[in-house]
Structures are given as C-alpha cells and as structure tokens.
C-alpha cells in the first residue's frame, strides 16, 4: 500500500519544519517553493528572536515548548556532518512602560510556568547601565519636536525572561530542517511556482463538499496529494484563494513590508552590546537584539510609523528605506546615549505574512485535505519546529475523523508536556486583541 502523500507549499522555516515532522511520521512528503533554496524568503529577513511574551496562554505555551527544540537543536536535526544553527540564550527584557504590556504578559507566563524576573527601575539601571530609563511614550519620529524632549517620567522597571534568546542565522536553521527532512525521505522542488490548487467534489458528513487532490505548477506539471499544506508565507492569501478556502475564514492574512536595521556600536561599547539581552521597547517604538557588536532594530507597529501593506508581495521595494533606518538608529541612540549614529547604513527588507490579529492560523480549511500554517506575522520563526509537530497532530486527528471545528484538537508538547489548544489558532476565531505585532 502506498504511503499517503502530503504536498507542502513553501520551504521557509515553517514549511521545512512541517516537512520534517510529516516525513518522520511516514508521509510521502513533497515540498514546492518558487525560490531557489530553503528559507530564502521571509525567513531570511527574520530577527529570529525567541521569546515568550504573548497575549494568549496557548501562544505562550507554543513558544515555551518551542524553545526546547532550539536548545536541543543538534538532537532534533539528527545530523552532525554539517554546520548547524545555534541558539543564543541572552534573555529578553520588556520595559515596563505606559503601554502596560509588560504587566499584561504576566498572567500567560504564570499560567504556562515560564521563568521570569521583575526588575525595578533601580535593578534595570544596574543590569543595563548604558540604558537611559527615560520615558517618552508615545513613540515619535525625529521630525517631531517631542522626540527630543527631555522626558519627565522614567520607566518603572522591566520584565526579564532569562530563557529567551535568538538564532543568529535563521536561513541556516531552515536549511537544517530541510536537510533533515530530505534524509527522512522528503523531496524538495525549488524554482517550482504553484499556480493552481486542484480539488474535486467529495461531500461527506461532517466535512465539506470539496476535497483537495494536488497542485499544478507553472510548468504544467501536476503533483497529486492527499493533503496540501499552505505554508507559503506572504503568498498565503493567494494560495488560499486558489484552493477556494476563504469562504469560512473570519481571519485573513495580508503581506506587509518590514525592515530590520543593522546598527553597529562604537568600539568602546561593542563588547557590552554583544552581551545584551533582546529588548522590547514599546516606549520608543522598537525592539532590539544583539548581533555581535551591533544591534538589529525593528519596529513594533507604533502609530507614528507607517505600515506598508502590499496587494502583491512580489511588488515590494526591497531597497533599504534610509529614512526608516535613521529613525530606528536615532531611537537606539536616545535609549543608549553612548551609541551614537553610525555612518554605515545597513539592514534587511522582507515581506511578512500578517494575520488580522497578529496570531497565526494553524488550521484545517473548508476544503477537505487543505491545511494552513500561515499568518506568522513576523513573530513565529521561533515556533516553527513546534508548529510542525502541532499541525501534524492536527492533520492526523482530522483525517481520522475528528471534528476539529466543533471540538478543537489539544496538542501535548513533546518536551514540557504543555497542552496547546489549537482552537486558539483557528481560521474561524473571533478577532480580538493584537498579539503585539512583529517583535522579532
């Protein structure tokens, strides 16, 4: 008897993680990607911050399970004959500012059992002596006179999660997953653009009236599949429309241009910066994380910063926006006064796949056999390996007859045994509060 075949659209970090999980479970796995190698799209533009500060218990549980994959990366990949991505456990600080987001993170952290410390303003100054604890909320841009105001208030302190960190080479992590998936039997087809998702009428009790049968490539080749998984990143809405899967979705996805600046520290400050934790600074409108003796700096969707939404992810301007770079560099220099503004302007531009509430969609669809791992919103790199496990559990339950829409599947994490209610990531959920944007 032939193994069931799964076709995964997208070889980014999430698609590659799913490929590894499905192939290890005995599925004949084919991954198609229009690019030339794993992780060359949105994955390569990720800051790859591994954090636990989410607005839902299940989002926090997903991340706290996910960090264990990064800690044990060589064992998860199972291949010692090649360079492997590494995890830098530098911790993460979220400033206690006027947004209240640091304190709002505590209930989910407590519910999941995440280790954290609460720093007073004095402790913050002691731990990060180079940092100004002036408060300037709300965030502004340098063309606003308020940007240069002295600041009458101070940050009240900070939330510190010591188990957080980052992955320095996100594209290498995707490559590792793809290599491990290939070793487990998966096939990767690059330079292969999907132009159609094929379906047939197949009404069944408790299911839909269409069933996926495979995908068609621009070359004209049809790849048949019992299961098709949309992990196409910023093209997710286009692929969902191809499949006819938009009909019952209350949450949609949309591509967003994102820029991450690279700001090098002056020589005297470099060694200290290299030891810094990642920081969520909603007071200034940015997040930072170390990259050697430099910082990666990105936005947190502050009201003063324009959002560059795209109708077509292929029409993005990938040129570094110097005005945006200077805004973020000046925010860094204001928060860390010794930093200054470097002469060299560097950074990376990418396109992220953003859901309406910034929470991912990890779900089945109205089309039987068509599943989605989309809407990563620039904050799900860290969760890719555990998402692979979760969607595999979901697929096997639904294909065995479980009605996930009425009775959401609950996945038990492999490492910590945390229970993750997959209904939180439903395509049909009620859109509520934001999951705090990109933040790495």
Digit-coded pLDDT (tens) for 377-393: 999 999 999 999 999 99
pLDDT score, position 209: 82
The residue length of the chain stands at: 440
Query: What is the distance between the alpha carbons of residues 372 and 391, in angstroms, rounded to a whole number?
Result: 9
Query: What is the distance between the alpha carbons of residues 276 and 241, in angstroms, rounded to a whole number?
Result: 43
> Is the confidence at residue 202, as pLDDT, over 90?
no
Contact between 434 and 358 under an 8 Å Cβ cutoff? The reply is: yes
- Encode burial over 354-376: b for 16+ CB neighbours within 10 A, e otherwise: bbbbbbbbbbbbbbbbbbbbbbb
| Angle at 189 (CA atoms; ends 217, 234), nearest 5 degrees | 70
Query: What is the distance between the alpha carbons of residues 211 and 365, in angstroms, rounded to a whole number?
Result: 10
Tokens encoding 371: 């599943």
> Is the confidence at residue 1, as pLDDT, over 50?
no
pLDDT, tens digit (0-9, with 9 covering 90-100), for 233-251 = 999 999 999 999 999 999 9
Query: What is the distance between the alpha carbons of residues 34 and 36, in angstroms, rounded to a whole number?
Result: 7
Cα torsion 430, 432, 399, 227: sign:
positive
> Is the confidence at residue 206, as pLDDT, over 90?
no
Average pLDDT over residues 24-30: 98
pLDDT, greater one: 396 or 80: 396
Cα torsion 277, 432, 234, 200: sign:
positive
Q: Which residues contact 152 (CB under 8 A, 6 or more apart)?
A: none
Contact between 355 and 336 under an 8 Å Cβ cutoff? The reply is: no
Average pLDDT over residues 132-156: 93
């Amino acid at each position: 008897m032939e193994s069931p075949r799964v076709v995964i659209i997208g070889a980014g970090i999430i698609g590659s993680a799913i490929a590894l999980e499905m192939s290890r479970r005995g599925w004949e796995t084919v991954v198609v990607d229009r690019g030339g190698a794993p992780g060359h799209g949105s994955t390569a533009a990720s800051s790859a911050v591994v954090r636990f500060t989410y607005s839902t218990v299940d989002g926090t549980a997903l991340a706290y399970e996910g960090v264990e994959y990064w800690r044990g990366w060589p064992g998860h990949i199972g291949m010692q004959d090649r360079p492997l991505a590494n995890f830098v456990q530098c911790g993460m600080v979220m400033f206690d500012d006027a947004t209240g987001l640091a304190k709002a993170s505590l209930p989910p952290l407590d519910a999941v059992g995440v280790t954290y410390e609460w720093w007073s303003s004095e402790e913050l100054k002691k731990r990060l002596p180079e940092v100004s604890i002036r408060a300037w909320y709300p965030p502004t841009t340098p063309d606003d006179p308020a940007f240069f105001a002295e600041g009458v208030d101070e940050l009240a302190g900070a939330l510190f999660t010591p188990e957080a960190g980052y992955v320095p080479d996100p594209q290498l992590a995707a490559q590792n997953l793809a290599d491990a998936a290939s070793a487990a039997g998966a096939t990767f087809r690059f330079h292969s653009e999907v132009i159609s998702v094929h379906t047939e009428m197949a009404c069944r009790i408790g299911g839909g009236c269409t069933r996926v049968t495979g995908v068609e490539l621009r070359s004209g080749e049809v790849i048949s599949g019992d299961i098709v998984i949309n992990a196409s990143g910023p093209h997710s809405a286009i692929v969902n429309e191809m499949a006819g899967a938009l009909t019952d979705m209350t949450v949609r996805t949309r591509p967003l241009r994102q820029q991450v600046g690279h700001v090098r520290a002056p020589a005297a400050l470099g060694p200290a910066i290299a030891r810094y934790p990642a920081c969520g600074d909603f007071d200034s409108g940015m997040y930072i994380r170390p990259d050697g003796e430099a910082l990666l700096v990105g936005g947190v969707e502050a009201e003063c910063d324009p959002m560059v939404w795209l109708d077509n992810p292929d029409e993005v301007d990938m040129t570094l926006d110097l005005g945006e770079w200077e805004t973020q560099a000046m925010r860094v220099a204001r928060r860390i006064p010794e930093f200054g503004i470097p002469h060299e302007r560097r950074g990376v531009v990418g396109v992220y796949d953003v859901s309406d509430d910034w929470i991912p969609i990890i779900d089945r669809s109205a089309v039987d056999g068509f599943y989605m791992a989309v809407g990563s919103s620039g904050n799900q790199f860290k969760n890719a390996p555990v998402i692979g496990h979760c969607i595999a559990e979901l697929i096997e339950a639904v294909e065995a007859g479980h009605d996930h829409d009425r009775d959401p599947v609950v996945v038990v994490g492999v490492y910590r045994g945390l229970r993750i209610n997959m209904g939180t990531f439903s395509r049909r959920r009620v859109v509520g509060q934001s999951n705090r944007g990109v933040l790495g």
